Structure formats: structure tokens, C-alpha cells
């Protein structure tokens, strides 16, 4: 009999699959394996691009954001790999990413040149690099959410779920930076239209089962 990764024989593993006593290391469903592979591959792609783009960054503020996000992202990647391999708690819990900037947006649109793809590497700009980071964080947030929904291993599920807010926070930090430099403009609706949408919903009153109308006698 061949030995598998959990240290059990193939026959023992087959028996455990039917008794629900699969080892922690092998406690992963098929969808989870594929989805986490996508998450980790995407994380590697993001960090590779961060490394390649760093030398092209001109603004010290953007370079600082990129460096802080890379360090945090790399640590999160490491603990995800760790718990994915072992099925057990990683060496430390998922941390919370903290921005160093405010959260004020500039609203309204100003005329800018139409965007188009660059033709060579010399055209790489801070706007392009920041836009890439924003797109990557959005992609990673979506991928981690989908993987967490499919995860059967409770540790992997929790690490993935806890890391989604960090993707959101990093994307928010980048969008604020881009907005300040007019790379990411935020239009607003007319005040009347905005007010109508803001008031389009009302809170639930009471609780389920309270105040329900009685059925007529001829229908009971």
C-alpha cells in the first residue's frame, strides 16, 4: 500500500473518508482546493507585479503605500499557505490592515484626457501603477470571498474570511490616493435624485410573527 501525505495508508484514508475522521491536513473539499489555489496564485501575481512596478513609482507617497501593502500582503499570504498545508491554526492570527491616510473624497468630475493602453514600458506612470493595485485588491477580495464560501476546513475558511476586509481596506486606501490626484474621479447624482434614493427604503417594524393579520374564519 502506498503512503499518502497524511501519513496513513490508502486503505486507512478510504475508511476515514467514510467515518468522518479525516486528518486535519487532509480536511479539504475539492472546491476549496481549487479556489484556494486560485487565491494563492492571484496573491503571487499581485506581489510579483508590485515588485516589478516599484522601481517605476515616482511619488514617495505611492511608494510608501506599495511597500506597506506588500509587507502586509506577503505575511497574509504566508499564513494562508501555512494553514492550507496543515489544516491547523497558522503561527499567528490574521492581522488587520490600517491605513495611514484620511478617508475624505473629492466629489465631482473634471475634464481629463481619454485613457488608452500604453504602447511601451516607458509610459508606465503612477496612475497606471495605482490603478493596477486597485484592480488587484478588488480581484483578491472577490476570490477570497468565493473561496471562503466553498471552504470546508474551518481554519482555512476563517483565515480567508478575515483577510477579505484587508483587501477592501487596501483598495480603499489606493482609491483615496487616486482620487486626490484626480486619477479616480467620483461623480454624484443631482441632489434631488440622491435624496430620493436615500429615502427609498424604510426599516422593518416589529419582529416576525408579531402583528400578523388573522385569517378569515371561512379560510381556516
Evaluate if residue 121 carries a pLDDT over 60: yes
The larger pLDDT score, comparing residue 2 to residue 83, is at 83
Name the one residue in this structure whose C-alpha cell is 496513513: 8
User: Of 142, 118, 111, which is closest to residue 35 (Cα–Cα)?
Assistant: 142
Q: What is the pLDDT of residue 28?
A: 80
Q: What is the pLDDT of residue 44?
A: 97
Evaluate if residue 217 carries a pLDDT over 70: no
Average pLDDT, the chain: 85
Please tell me the distance from the alpha carbon of residue 3 to that of residue 11, in angstroms, as a whole number.
10
Q: Tell me the three cell numbers of residue 58.
A: 515616482
DSSP state of 186: B
The larger pLDDT score, comparing residue 2 to residue 181, is at 181
Please tell me the distance from the alpha carbon of residue 87 to that of residue 153, in angstroms, as a whole number.
7
The larger pLDDT score, comparing residue 198 to residue 13, is at 198
Q: What is the pLDDT of residue 60?
A: 97
Q: For residue range 159-194, what is the model confidence (pLDDT) as tens digits? A: 999 999 999 999 999 999 999 999 999 999 999 999
Q: For residue range 41-72, what is the model confidence (pLDDT) as tens digits? A: 999 999 999 999 999 999 999 999 999 999 99
User: Of 122, 135, 142, 136, which is closest to residue 44 (Cα–Cα)?
Assistant: 136
The larger pLDDT score, comparing residue 28 to residue 146, is at 146
User: Sorting pLDDT into bands at 50, 70 and 90, what band is 25?
Assistant: low
Q: What is the pLDDT of residue 101?
A: 84
User: 149 near 38, Cβ under 8 Å?
Assistant: no
Distance of CA 51 to the CA centre of its chain: 20
pTM of the model: 0.80
User: Of 152, 162, 28, 38, which is closest to residue 95 (Cα–Cα)?
Assistant: 162
Q: What is the DSSP string of 34-75?
A: HHHHHHHHHHHHHHHHHHHHHTT---HHHHHHHHHHHHHHHH
Please tell me the distance from the alpha carbon of residue 182 to that of residue 176, in angstroms, as a whole number.
10
Q: Which domains does the chain have, with CATH numbers?
A: 27-105+124-199 (1.20.1260)
Q: In the predicted model, what is the mean pLDDT of residues 25-43?
A: 87
Amino acid at each position: 500500500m502506498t503512503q499518502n501525505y497524511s501519513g496513513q495508508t490508502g486503505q486507512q484514508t478510504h475508511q476515514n473518508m467514510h467515518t468522518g475522521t479525516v486528518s486535519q491536513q487532509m480536511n479539504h473539499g475539492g472546491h476549496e482546493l481549487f479556489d484556494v489555489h486560485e487565491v494563492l496564485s492571484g496573491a503571487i501575481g499581485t506581489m510579483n507585479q508590485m515588485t516589478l512596478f516599484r522601481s517605476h513609482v515616482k511619488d514617495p507617497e505611492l511608494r510608501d503605500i506599495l511597500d506597506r501593502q506588500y509587507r502586509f500582503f506577503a505575511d497574509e499570504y504566508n499564513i494562508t499557505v501555512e494553514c492550507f498545508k496543515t489544516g491547523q491554526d497558522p503561527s499567528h492570527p490574521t492581522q488587520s490592515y490600517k491605513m495611514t491616510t484620511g478617508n475624505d473624497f473629492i466629489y465631482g468630475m473634471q475634464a481629463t484626457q481619454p485613457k488608452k493602453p500604453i504602447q511601451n514600458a516607458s509610459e508606465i506612470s503612477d496612475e497606471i501603477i495605482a490603478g493596477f493595485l486597485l484592480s488587484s485588491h478588488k480581484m483578491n477580495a472577490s476570490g477570497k470571498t468565493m473561496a471562503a464560501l466553498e471552504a470546508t476546513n474551518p481554519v482555512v475558511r476563517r483565515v480567508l474570511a478575515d483577510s477579505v476586509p484587508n483587501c477592501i481596506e487596501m483598495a480603499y486606501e489606493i482609491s483615496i490616493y487616486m482620487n486626490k490626484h484626480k486619477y479616480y474621479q467620483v461623480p454624484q447624482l443631482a441632489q434631488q435624485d440622491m435624496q430620493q434614493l436615500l429615502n427609498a427604503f424604510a426599516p422593518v417594524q416589529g419582529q416576525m410573527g408579531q402583528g400578523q393579520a388573522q385569517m378569515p374564519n371561512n379560510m381556516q
